[in-house]
Amino acid sequence: MSPDTSAYCQARAKIPLEVMDKINEHLLDRLQTRIPLNGLWHGRHVRIVDGTGISMPDTKANQESWPQSKAQKTGCDFPLMNLVGIFCLHAGALIKSACSDRHTHESKLFKNIWDTLKSGDLLLADRGFCSFGAFAGLLARGVDSLMRLPEKKIRKAIGLQLPKTANFDVIVKWKRPTQRDMKMVSTEFDLLPESLLVRVVRYTITQSGFRTQTVTLVTTLLDAVIPASEVAELYFRRWSIELHFREIKVYLKMDVLRCLTPHMIERELRMHFIAYNLIRCVMQKAALTHKADIQRLSFIVKLLRNYREERRNF
């Protein structure tokens, strides 16, 4: 075997993006169909969304597609990409992603991949994605939402309807904002409902040695059968998406991409996603075989074991 990687790079450049997407779709189908019913949350599929940043080589072509930060002088920074991904809470799979330059807000990228979500899904998101338009748009698709409510929106939108107590669980009416969000076109704003009924849960996190923190959640899950403690516990699991991004960016080396053109950057991203979901398939198979919780399996251990086996066979 030749140490020269030229043939590999030339072959990779010719792979159609549609082929790579089909491979990833096959992996996702396998991951989703093998989730046991008792592994779902109240019989529902839970999705998590968040964004992250990626850098790449400082070439003219990359700078044109993903310009560097405006705060940096020309030639003093690298091209930067915003990437938003939707993950499956139960299998850890990366379901769909959208990317653009750093000047495109993550909420706009998220909206581009709403079609990935199916009726009956439940979406977890941080406060950066929380807005009346997002709640209304997702609910129109049959998708419930659970997000952290920013303090600014609490005061403006529903502050007067909330109890004065430290912790509470109430259902309130969230009225449509009077002014259109700049990220939303006028036609979309006009289609929004006048108001939404939402459930607001506020609880306090107290941990020895740390500052007491108050968290306010808003959700379209109005079913009183689901207690506030379960809603809070589910939102706490949103943190797993930070671990998934770390697995892709750190363990699979996607933090800094290596290709020199946008044509190849797109293929490099997809190869990382395929590799990540392949490892997730192995983890799911191990969890099902040994009747273990997939959340307790180590991604990096699986990665190293697979690498050692390949080296041994080679």
**pLDDT tens profile 46-101:** 999 999 999 999 999 999 999 877 777 776 778 999 999 999 999 999 999 999 99
Q: How buried is 150 (Cβ within 10 angstroms: 0-12 exposed, 13-18 middle, 19+ buried)?
A: middle
Structure confidence at residue 190 (pLDDT): 85
51, containing H or E segment? strand 46-55
For residue 297, tell me if it sits in a domain. yes
For residue 10, tell me if it sits in a domain. no
Taking CA atoms, 60 is separated from 56, 64, 150, 208, in Å, by: 11, 6, 39, 51
For residue 2, tell me if it sits in a domain. no
Task: State the Cα–Cα distance between residues 97 and 106, nearest whole angstrom.
Answer: 11
Structure confidence at residue 302 (pLDDT): 60
Q: Say how many domains are in the chain.
A: 1
Structure confidence at residue 314 (pLDDT): 40
| Contacts (Cβ under 8 Å, ≥6 apart) of 79 | 55, 56, 57, 58, 59, 62, 63, 65, 66, 67, 68
For residue 98, tell me if it sits in a domain. yes
Task: Count the residues in the chain.
Answer: 314
Positions in the chain whose pLDDT score sits under 50? 311, 313-314
For residue 179, tell me if it sits in a domain. no
Name the amino acid, one letter, at 189: F
Structure confidence at residue 308 (pLDDT): 53
Residue 89: give the domain boundaries.
Answer: 16-116+227-313
Structure confidence at residue 69 (pLDDT): 73
Structure confidence at residue 306 (pLDDT): 58
Structure confidence at residue 9 (pLDDT): 80
Q: Among all chains, which residue has been given the structure tokens 């990687």? A: 5
